[in-house]
Structure 1
């Protein structure tokens, strides 16, 4: 195989560009909303479309239906491979073909299931970015390389990512040999901006607990007993507040805090964050150090549910108990069960005024951190810089993608690269989802360059 130049790859991508846009437009029109039923005919048609798309690039792609842990039928998945040399490195390409629902089409400026190109250079439609863009990147990169592909390819295009991937682990375990690889490219994240590329360096883990605070055996009159006896809602509020210092930083012993993986190349912009989250003018952002570390690698706790008597119909009694649910995002490398135990111990030990505090542990999800010193990461960073014409600004994600650490667990020898087609304007999961077409073209070139570098 002769070395292929970047200019030649770019030329091939330009020639293939109408096909890529047409394929992405067709994918949007399929309306592959997994929330309408992962076993439905619309999801099978979506999987068949993707399998045919990859099949035209030399992948022996096929549609396989997974099974849920309880044995019931699961999602329609696309798997396959293209082996060019048994001695060459093997790369697993991941994306997902299911998309988020559209609860209210009236919130969109266009038909969500009709791909619409606008003068701003973006293509609008549900799944245009998440993760039709990821499928387009894989298809475009394989097409550009053609017979110059120097690595073995395996593919897994999932059909239930937007539903939490309930059959993901059983499916991977059942197809372990088919997915074994040296490098895994997960094209389901995004870049710093449409102009500045990124690798996703880390994902926070997550854990949840239900907490009950009890002060009385039954409610009593607030006039007769109020004063020495505080109501359970107030006590619960005191308990929640005890987790933080005066800056709003979490101070729970045993809950780990980390700095951005691979070092912080660029911090987040506070004005953009405030605008994106619609923060009220007078609010001072909690925590200390960089915004990036606070959002990507430091822990956070959110009260996501609170059982209390509604204001309407309230009356003068002291609440005997209060119950609330805490969702904690954990540092990428911390075992979430360990953080959960530390949080539970802290809450019991800090029961205000000796109230009874009980904690019920709920589900855990492991975080993930890439190896910033791996050869695959260096190759990917060089490829991104070459394709975009600027150095990448790598970034973490504050949310969790549980299947990525599970992939790393099942294939501990594989290097995982998390890339993707999104940018801050993509509106994934929201109305007016879109993808920047110029950025998509550069992402295709970047993946083709990554595969070329990995071959060496």
Structure 2
């Protein structure tokens, strides 16, 4: 029997210590290494016999690799998290300092609490629960680049593939939709973006002297962007695929409240909310370069530019989908305007295979810890590293879970937080998962 309550204080103390380090990967300082070194020390102190700081990739942030080899005939589980965090942003919007963990109303507030230092602490709790002798092989990988799209992760996985190979990969970087109910994220949309520029005139000219016949680039751009959706609000770009819808039904009223949709404003698209959010592609205009209203003169705009974001449905290919978007923008440019389109920000979608026996073992473990059956949900956002793990280890099962994050966690925003009761349940579930895997012995196929 494991006694998770015995190790929770150590896990909480570790989480507090990690949050105090401002490990912002977009602004690399000595704090990145300090956080990696603390992470390594935590797992070394938990009895992991092999702990190493991986810092051999040019331009990469240090990663932590900790290993407890599998007992004979037992499977191996890889536990992933990341220690880097987003910048704090405007400190005036925080109720308390972002890098000082504070408990309010049962939640631990601070940058990185939910995304994703709770994941590190939950992995630590699972290891601590077995006092240095887990029933299965355990490998822990904690990287420091997720918030900048993990640019060197693929090379890291390739370079250390033999030591990272596992039967089950647990990626603790998602959220539970309902507090007290465990959720496995089984589908992720990918992402792609295009920057489109339209030019109609050699230079700006007076709108009184030339307005009428002379086309302004900003109007042309607005007309082009309006072609991205049909009359129902569905994406009008041809060639994009729709994925499978997870079993969870997303109530419309709840979605409107969580998204902050104003009263009277219609939702876009057709189908239920879960399908539109998790299984269909989505297009958004993310930015427009144009004169500011406060400084604009009576000049016809000769050139205008926009960034168009595309969320790619599970089962589609992000590179192909980006090409479809680029083709649409080129083909629908009005008035013969000169158009250029460049593709950026590619990340592949992913659909989880839930038929692996390790998935059933995970369901039992999380049901016992939470006292409720697991629900399967999707994610409208993208987690680029999931596809990289799937490509590097195609035979492994992938489990995308929450380490305590929920819909109130506000990752990337002010007052980011993790619900402490949810965090404790996640610690318990992960420890039980190791036991279930040892009992079922699902091996690499």
The 1:133–1:348 alpha-carbon spacing in structure 2 relative to 1, beyond 3 Å, is: same
Corresponding residue of 1:116: 102
Corresponding residue of 1:341: 323
Pair 1:232 & 2:193 matched: no
The 1:347–1:105 alpha-carbon spacing in structure 2 relative to 1, beyond 3 Å, is: closer
The 1:237–1:372 alpha-carbon spacing in structure 2 relative to 1, beyond 3 Å, is: same
Instruction: Report how far residue 192 of structure 1 moved.
Output: 1.6
Pair 1:85 & 2:99 matched: no
Deviations 1:216-264 (A, max 9, x none): 444444345444544221121111111211111102111112232xx32
Kept in 1: contact 2:43–2:51 (CA 8 A): no
Corresponding residue of 1:49: 38
Corresponding residue of 1:453: 436
Deviations 1:110-137 (A, max 9, x none): 233332223x222222222222211121
Deviations 1:269-288 (A, max 9, x none): 33343333333323111111
Counterpart pick for 2:350 among 368, 392, 397 = 368
Counterpart pick for 1:206 among 178, 188, 191 = 191
Instruction: Report how far residue 61 of structure 1 moved.
Output: 4.4
Deviations 1:327-384 (A, max 9, x none): 1111122111111111122222222244333322234211111112222222222222
The worse-fitting range, judged by mean Cα deviation, of 137-146 and 331-340 is 137-146
The 1:306–1:21 alpha-carbon spacing in structure 2 relative to 1, beyond 3 Å, is: same
Deviations 1:114-163 (A, max 9, x none): 32223x22222222222221112111112223466221111111122223
**Gap runs ≥5 in structure 2:** 441-445
Corresponding residue of 2:154: 169
Pair 1:13 & 2:4 matched: yes
Matches within 5 A, 1:298-309: 298-309=280-291
Kept in 2: contact 1:54–1:61 (CA 8 A): no
Pair 1:416 & 2:398 matched: yes
Kept in 2: contact 1:336–1:364 (CA 8 A): yes
Counterpart pick for 2:84 among 98, 105, 130 = 98
Matches within 5 A, 1:264-303: 264-267=247-250, 269-303=251-285
Kept in 2: contact 1:331–1:367 (CA 8 A): yes
Query: Structure 1 segments of 4 or more deviating over 6 A?
Result: none
2: CA distance between counterparts of 1:48 and 1:392? 35
The worse-fitting range, judged by mean Cα deviation, of 176-185 and 14-23 is 14-23
Kept in 2: contact 1:60–1:81 (CA 8 A): yes
Kept in 1: contact 2:70–2:76 (CA 8 A): no
Corresponding residue of 1:248: 233
Kept in 1: contact 2:89–2:414 (CA 8 A): no
**Gap runs ≥5 in structure 1:** 1-7
Pair 1:130 & 2:119 matched: no
- 2:415 aligns to what SS in structure 1? coil
Counterpart pick for 1:377 among 342, 347, 359 = 359
2: CA distance between counterparts of 1:429 and 1:243? 28
The 1:32–1:319 alpha-carbon spacing in structure 2 relative to 1, beyond 3 Å, is: closer
Kindly tell me the number of residue pairs found equivalent between the two proteins: 438
Corresponding residue of 1:4: none
Corresponding residue of 1:3: none
Pair 1:442 & 2:425 matched: yes
The worse-fitting range, judged by mean Cα deviation, of 183-192 and 426-435 is 426-435
Corresponding residue of 1:31: 22
Kept in 2: contact 1:128–1:434 (CA 8 A): yes
Counterpart pick for 1:178 among 163, 172, 175 = 163
Kept in 2: contact 1:207–1:363 (CA 8 A): yes
Kept in 2: contact 1:222–1:317 (CA 8 A): yes
Pair 1:432 & 2:415 matched: yes
Kept in 2: contact 1:205–1:368 (CA 8 A): yes
2: CA distance between counterparts of 1:216 and 1:165? 41
